[in-house]
């Protein structure tokens, strides 16, 4: 390759816009219809645990007595089974993706109980 052809390529690369984004500064817009993070509406949930039974990776745990719904984001594969089988339709897959993580933390959602009157 001659020096002139390489110089032409270098100048062309310097003057054009880059093909990639500068990720942390320019986040990608979600694609419509894509499967992202699982979200729950606790006010509509009856804690029936059908979502936990249908989850193929056992990423969801439901405690009916404590009114607690737990998800392990690293196990969830966004397969949509829990959303399809929820009788109250309180689960939804958003198009936005979750925050990257390296620890095995579980997200716990707990419904606030009504205050008990003192006797």
Q: pLDDT tens digit string along 57-92?
A: 999 999 999 999 999 988 999 899 999 999 999 999
Distances, alpha carbon 40 to alpha carbons 25, 53, 107, 119, in Å: 29, 16, 11, 35
Q: What is the CATH number of the domain that holds 34?
A: 3.30.70.3270
- Would residue 24 count as lying in a domain? no
Number of domains in the chain: 1
- The confidence band for 119, taking pLDDT boundaries of 50, 70 and 90, is low
Q: Per-residue DSSP letters for 23-85? A: TTTSPPPPPTT----EEE-TTT-----HHHHH-TT--EEEETTTTEEEEETTT----SHHHHH
- Would residue 23 count as lying in a domain? no
Which residues form the domain of 72?
29-110
- Would residue 4 count as lying in a domain? no
pLDDT in tens, 30-55: 888 788 889 999 999 999 999 999 99
């Amino acid at each position: 390759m001659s020096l002139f052809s390489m110089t032409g390529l270098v100048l062309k690369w310097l003057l054009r816009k880059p093909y990639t984004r500068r990720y942390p500064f320019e986040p990608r817009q979600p694609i419509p219809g894509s499967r992202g993070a699982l979200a729950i509406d606790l006010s509509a949930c009856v804690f029936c645990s059908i979502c936990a039974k249908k989850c193929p990776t056992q990423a969801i745990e439901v405690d009916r007595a404590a009114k607690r719904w737990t998800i392990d984001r690293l196990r969830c594969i966004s397969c949509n089974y829990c959303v399809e089988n929820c009788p109250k339709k309180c689960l939804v897959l958003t198009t936005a993706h979750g925050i990257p993580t390296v620890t095995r933390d579980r997200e716990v959602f707990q419904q606030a109980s009504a205050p008990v009157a003192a006797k």
